[in-house]
Amino acid sequence: MTLVNTQCRLAARPVGLPQASNWSFVEEPVREPAPGEFRVRVEYISVDPAMRSWMNAGRSYVPPVEIGEVMRAAGVGRVIDSHHPDYHAGEYLYGTFGVQRYAVSDGKGVTRVDTTLAPAPVHLGALGFSGLSAYFGLLDIGRPEPGQTVVVSGAAGSVGSIAGQIARIKGCRVIGIAGGADKCRWLVEELGFDAAIDYKAGELRSQLKEHTPDGVDVFFDNVGGDILEQVLARLARGARVVICGAISQYNATEAPRGPANYMQLLVARASMTGFVIFDYAKRYAEGVTQLAQWLRSGELRSREDIVHGGIEQFPDVLLRLFHGENTGKLVLALEGGE
Ligand SMILES: NC(=O)c1ccc[n+]([C@@H]2O[C@H](COP(=O)([O-])OP(=O)(O)OC[C@H]3O[C@@H](n4cnc5c(N)ncnc54)[C@H](OP(=O)(O)O)[C@@H]3O)[C@@H](O)[C@H]2O)c1
């Protein structure tokens, strides 16, 4: 069967926000699978802040995407045809299939997606790396105790919304920081956060003081920059700061801004620890089982922000993350194709 692929490739490394000139689009036939391989039609592409850092040259926790390569992306796809003994036509799989319509895979890094558990896009959010990052980052590194105050930045995003809900499930007081009144309302009214602060309204410092009268025991940070600095100033004694990400710095054209007041860690006898979710690979099953159980019981809610379109839409969809236009997990659902 001859299939024509559409691929989004990295054409040039961006300075600041990615632009149209950083991408190229290529159409070419998809090769037939060799013995031990199968072909997948990608249906959902996970759109992640980390993609911005993969576009940079230099040292990180994964190698950069090279110029001319298909943009790296996780996704969920359906097997079209297979010469692999373990994977069969029609199965839904999760894998790093890239920003392209079709992928050829030998099964490395691929896992089966149980669509009876939840629809496919949820496996990129609450039951995927977002949920797992929230679960292990909060519980393993943040170690919240019942009654403690947990602050989450990027709280209406994919990871943040799950981290805050897990803190609530664990009996903590949860304060979310997010951009805009609608997101803040959603956090409190739908997800059960105790309070939410709209950092764009310009009163972060006074709002933090009001909502954390006894200080902050755990800070789950997705944003970095000014928000990190403001929360460091509120740490309770023995606090744990979890560095999940720093999206406010990903498009910086100068050296990323560090917290000028890091000595607050000393004052509070606090720790600040970064983590990479891949280090928890041996415990993914534990995380997914617990997250799925909370979803089933209704204690945890997932939200997917699904944009329908073609591969050509990917550059614009990526920018939504940096403009705060998503609530919950941002996914590009591919239309058309065979
Ligand atoms: N350590 C790990 O292993 C790991 C794994 C997965 C993800 N992460 C990190 O987790 C973080 C969240 O990822 P996600 O997939 O859940 O994305 P997301 O939170 O769903 O989307 C990004 C959100 O960040 C906020 N934002 C963007 N620019 C901002 C700025 N300048 N200042 C403040 N907020 C800004 C926006 O919300 P507002 O409207 O609220 O501004 C936007 O909706 C990222 O930093 C990501 O790199 C880390």
CA of 223 to the centre of ligand 1 (A): 6
- Where b means 16+ CB within 10 Å and e means fewer, 21-41 reads ebbebeeeebeebeeebbbbb
CA of 87 to the centre of ligand 1 (A): 34
Task: Choose which residue among 54, 241, 247 to substitute to test ligand 1 binding: the one with the highest number of ligand atoms within 8 A of its C-beta.
Answer: 247
CA-to-CA distance for 139 and 4, rounded, in angstroms? 45
Give the type of residue at 79.
Answer: V
Nearest CA to ligand 1 atom 2: 276
Q: Which residue has the tokens 């403001």?
A: 230
- Structure confidence at residue 338 as a pLDDT band (50, 70, 90): very low
Q: Among the atoms of ligand 1, which is closest to the Cα of residue 327?
A: 43
CA of 222 to the centre of ligand 1 (A): 5
Q: How do residues 57-89 score in pLDDT, each as one tens digit?
A: 988 899 999 999 999 999 999 999 999 999 999
- Where b means 16+ CB within 10 Å and e means fewer, 159-183 reads bbbbbbbbbbebebbbbbbbbbeeb
Average pLDDT over residues 267-284: 98
- Residue 324, judged by CB atoms within 10 A of its CB (0-12, 13-18, 19+), counts as middle
Nearest CA to ligand 1 atom 9: 245
Do the Cβ atoms of 128 and 117 come closer than 8 Å? no
Do the Cβ atoms of 144 and 218 come closer than 8 Å? yes
- Structure confidence at residue 336 as a pLDDT band (50, 70, 90): low
pLDDT of residue 71: 98
CA-to-CA distance for 3 and 38, rounded, in angstroms? 13
Question: Ligand 1: which residues within 6 Å by Cβ?
Answer: 48-50, 129-130, 133, 154, 156-160, 178-180, 183, 222-223, 244-248, 275-277, 321-322, 324, 326, 330
pLDDT of residue 255: 84
The model's pTM is 0.97
Nearest CA to ligand 1 atom 28: 322
CA of 219 to the centre of ligand 1 (A): 14
